[in-house]
Amino acid sequence: MSLNQEENGLVFDCFFRCAEQKQIDRGTVLIASNPKAAEFHSCIKQALAQLEHMKDEDCPAELVDMTIARLKLATAIKPLPHNNSHQ
């Protein structure tokens, strides 16, 4: 069973610490109690670890906000079922 949209959001919020503390705490509990959430959190961590060498440069706040918003949007979009009846 995969994570739902809210659970994906909680994992992101927890990882990026970009929500109220209550939401971050909920994400922490989810990651600790749900293997899928823990796996997703680990994947984010591994993917972003490759950028560690870039820490010396400041990232503009607008870019941070836009990137997080796009990541959240990407988790919210679900593909529509393919329907061949209109061809």
Measured CA to CA, the distance from residue 68 to residue 79 in angstroms comes to 20
pLDDT at residue 17 is higher than 60: yes
How buried is 80 (Cβ within 10 angstroms: 0-12 exposed, 13-18 middle, 19+ buried)? exposed
Per-residue b or e along 15-31, where b marks 16 or more CB atoms closer than 10 Å to that residue's CB? bbebbeeeebebbbebb
Provide the percentage of residues in the chain whose pLDDT is more than 90: 45
Q: pTM of the entire structure?
A: 0.60
11: pLDDT confidence band, cut at 50, 70 and 90?
very high
